[in-house]
Structure 1
Amino acid sequence: MAYKHLFFDLDHTLWDFESNAKQTLQELHVALELNTHGIDSFDAFYERYVYHNTRLWERYRKGFIKRDDLRWKRMWHTLLDFKTANEKLARSMDTFFLDRLPTRTLLFPHAIEILEYLRNKGYALHLITNGFETVQHSKLKYSGLTGFFEKVITSEGSNSLKPHKQIFEYALHKTGATVSESIMLGDDIEADIVGAKNAGIDQVYVNHKHITPPLQPTYTVYALKELENIF
């Protein structure tokens, strides 16, 4: 297959969301003095935040909640687990988190190297991300990834979300690519792999966590460096 357009996911695929988020939440825990609100253990706080963030992102993807509800209510529900019903604090936590998170720069190993390799081979590189427009562009800027991508398609900009077919169709229209010359590269089976498959687009499952997938992607890699074996 003669691919010309490579559509990358950003979070958890190139940009190490989990590590960057954990660093930011550690800073938040100290700066906002959460220990004075009954949250002494950062590990306990982090575990509950991850639980609520995952659950609310799933609801957001399915259209059950709005963006702003996702942002502050993941903090609100986390506080409630520690018997703290403080909406002002939850909103302050949201602001702190989204101000600092995009400035983090941790990438998965060989991210820059593989993007340079693919660009030098003549592929057109793009992003399809469910993240928020301003936040995602800030991540790209601070981590040195901006210059690699010709088009950045966000859920906010496209008015759709992976895995819905519409965001992939929007990406093809925006880039002038066809289905046959395009491939999606991402870490999320539902959003990236199933979504692309349903849009007729081939996929590379970037399986950093060595998870056994419930379906067979077009390709699977376990590290970004392995993309050299495909392209």
Structure 2
Amino acid sequence: MAYKTLFFDLDHTLWDFEQNSYHTLSHIYDTHELATIGVPSVAVFYEHYKVHNDRLWARYRNGFIGREELKWKRMWLTLIEFKIGDERLARALSQVYLEALPHQQALFPFAIEILEYCKAQQYDLNLITNGFEDTQWKKLNAAGIGHYFTHVITSEATNSLKPHAPIFEYALTAAGADKQGSLMIGDSLEADIMGAKSFGMDQVYFNPEKIPHEVQPTFEISCLSELKQIV
């Protein structure tokens, strides 16, 4: 298949969300002296936050909760794990997290190299992300990769979320592309791979931890450099 248009996911695909989130939560842990109120370590704080963040993002993606609830409740539920039932603190820490996180710059290995390669091969590069508009642009600019993309399609701007078809349809229209000549590259089996597959677009599943699964994507890679073998 001769692809012309590439659609990348951002978080967990190009931008290393886990590393950036850990650094942000570590800063919060230290500056707000969370050890003094019963949070034993940064690592434990991060692991609990990750569980609640992943669960609430799934609920948000499926329409069960709204954006504002997602933003603060993941921190509140994390604090509850340590018997800290302080909603005001949870909201304050959530705000600090949201302001600091997008300024982190860690990317996955070979992210810059593969973007440079794809540009040199004259592919039209675009993003489809379930993240919030302002936050995602801050991440792109902080990491220095915003200029690679012709269009940045966010769920907030389109009022639709991956894996649902409208956001993919919007992206194709914005890019002036068609399904047959387009390729979706992302880390989420549900949002990126199954979403694109149901829509009729080929997919590359980025699976750096080589987690077993039963989905059959068009392609699968464990390192971004492997994308050169596909495009």
State the TM-score, normalizing by the size of structure 2.
0.98
1:49 aligns with 49
**Alpha-carbon distance between aligned partners in 2 of 1:226 and 1:94, rounded to the nearest angstrom:** 36
2:183 aligns with 183
Q: Residue type of the partner of 2:49?
A: Y
% same residue: 55
SS in structure 1 at match of 2:125: strand
Q: Residue type of the partner of 1:117?
A: Y
2:82 aligns with 82
1:109 aligns with 109
Return 194-203 or 207-216, whichever deviates more.
Answer: 207-216
2:3 aligns with 3
Give the Å deviation of 1:47.
1.5
2:120 aligns with 120
Q: Residue type of the partner of 1:76?
A: W
Q: Residue type of the partner of 1:215?
A: V
Q: Residue type of the partner of 1:45?
A: F
Q: What do residues 35-68 of structure 1 show as CA deviations (whole Å, max 9, x unaligned)?
A: 2322132222111111111111111011000011
**Alpha-carbon distance between aligned partners in 2 of 1:24 and 1:172, rounded to the nearest angstrom:** 34
SS in structure 2 at match of 1:179: coil
Q: What do residues 52-109 of structure 1 show as CA deviations (whole Å, max 9, x unaligned)?
A: 1111111101100001100100000111111111111101111111111101111011
Q: Which ranges in structure 1 are unaligned for 5 or more consecutive residues?
A: none
Q: Residue type of the partner of 1:40?
A: P
Q: Residue type of the partner of 1:135?
A: T
Q: What do residues 107-157 of structure 1 show as CA deviations (whole Å, max 9, x unaligned)?
A: 011100110000011100000001110110000001010110000001101
Give the Å deviation of 1:15.
0.5
**Alpha-carbon distance between aligned partners in 1 of 2:41 and 2:184, rounded to the nearest angstrom:** 39
**Alpha-carbon distance between aligned partners in 2 of 1:99 and 1:74, rounded to the nearest angstrom:** 15
Q: Map of 1:23-62 to 2, 5 A cutoff?
A: 23-62=23-62
2:164 aligns with 164
2:210 aligns with 210
SS in structure 1 at match of 2:208: coil
1:137 aligns with 137
Give the Å deviation of 1:179.
0.6
**Alpha-carbon distance between aligned partners in 1 of 2:82 and 2:88, rounded to the nearest angstrom:** 15
**Alpha-carbon distance between aligned partners in 1 of 2:92 and 2:33, rounded to the nearest angstrom:** 12
Number of matched pairs: 231
Give the Å deviation of 1:213.
2.5
